[in-house]
Amino acid sequence: VNPAAGLRKAGDVARSTVLPMLAQAGVTATLLTTTHPGHAEEHVRSMPPGSTDAIVVVGGDGLLHEVANGVLARADASSAPPLPFGVVGAGTGNGVVTSLFAEAQHAQAEQGEEEDAAVDSASLPLLHTLAILRAKSGGLDVCRVSQQGRPHRFSLLSFATGLVAEIDIDSDALRWLGPARVDVTALLKIAALHASPALLSLTRPDGSVLEIAGELVCVWALLLPFASDNA
């Protein structure tokens, strides 16, 4: 749980909704509240092998990013069985859980089950937890980002450079604004819009390479259908 996520209500969501539902389903859970950036990644990376069957993330895309990087950086990452994880959206963007929940709803419809009716945001943690308890494990595409002189990083949602990356990074200092921090930072960045020289090289499935060179404002690639809970 990231207590600083979104409107700083992730802890309440975990204690009032997620933990009681898991307990009612017979699931034994241990609550870890993060205390600093990188805490979740450090914890997941150092967990003893076989110490947990799954991880439930209560927070936003940032906390999930930490957990995923911790799992993939483990010494037994290539040999141990995959570690399932679920997400209960309590962050600013919630792009991953919005995408996964939409896919779960679609799968229900394909199986002839009735989809959950549209609900207000306050009910989403309950529905996300219910989806975790009744869903089958599946795979996700993962993007590996390499930068010279830095360790590899992995992404489940997107990768970006330029404007979108600057908005994401600089808005972190305005967390006290809640989700509005992204809009405020975006307006400030757009007002001082600038481009940077860049070379974008794309390898097509047939092996041919497309190169785009010039002044680029941003490059943003999404791995999932939703970048946030409303876009």
Task: Give the residue numbers marked as catalytic.
Answer: 61
227 vs 22: CA distance, rounded Å: 28
β-strands 55-59, 85-89: how paired?
parallel
- Is residue 28 classed as helix, strand or coil in its secondary structure? coil
Place of tokens 């399932």: 84
Tokens of 119: 């609900």
101 vs 194: CA distance, rounded Å: 36
Phi-psi region of 162 (alpha: psi -120 to 50; beta: other; left: phi over 0): left
Q: Which of 161, 151, 152, 155 is closest to 143 using CA atoms?
A: 155
Q: Which of 66, 61, 60, 17 is closest to 43 using CA atoms?
A: 66
218 vs 224: CA distance, rounded Å: 18
- Phi first, then psi, for residue 55 (nearest 5°) are -125, 135
